[in-house]
Amino acid sequence: MATVALTLDTFEKTILEGGTVFVDFWAGWCGPCMQFAPHYEAAAEANPDLTFAKVDTEDQQQLAAAMNITSIPTIMAFKDGIGVFAQAGALPRPMLDELISQVKALDMEQVRADLDKQEAEEASA
């Protein structure tokens, strides 16, 4: 599956309905973004069960600002609508593949329980 371009209008729906979604925030003038792009495209082709999306930060400045993108490339991962990873910098292909494996293996019941516990602790503090 090829990557999909996200906009301010499609971002939330894609994250909430997409199962596991990886998002690459990039720009055409960014050298590291251009170097990372073939690895990201290859990962998308190798994992058709996942959604791989891209956000052009030049075209989607409001979305990039809303997601607090301060460096590009930045890759984010969402699973079942929950952000589970965010990191600036181009990942080498082996590290991208490892990230994909780790996100696939996440126990979302445990993630939700941890989030609930964290919210309860913050509310009582």
Residues taking part in catalysis: 30, 33
**Distance from C-alpha of 6 to C-alpha of 119, rounded to nearest angstrom:** 29
DSSP 8-state code for residue 70: -
Calculate the alpha carbon distances from 1 to 42, 118, 121 in Å. 10, 36, 41
**Distance from C-alpha of 84 to C-alpha of 70, rounded to nearest angstrom:** 18
**Distance from C-alpha of 24 to C-alpha of 32, rounded to nearest angstrom:** 12
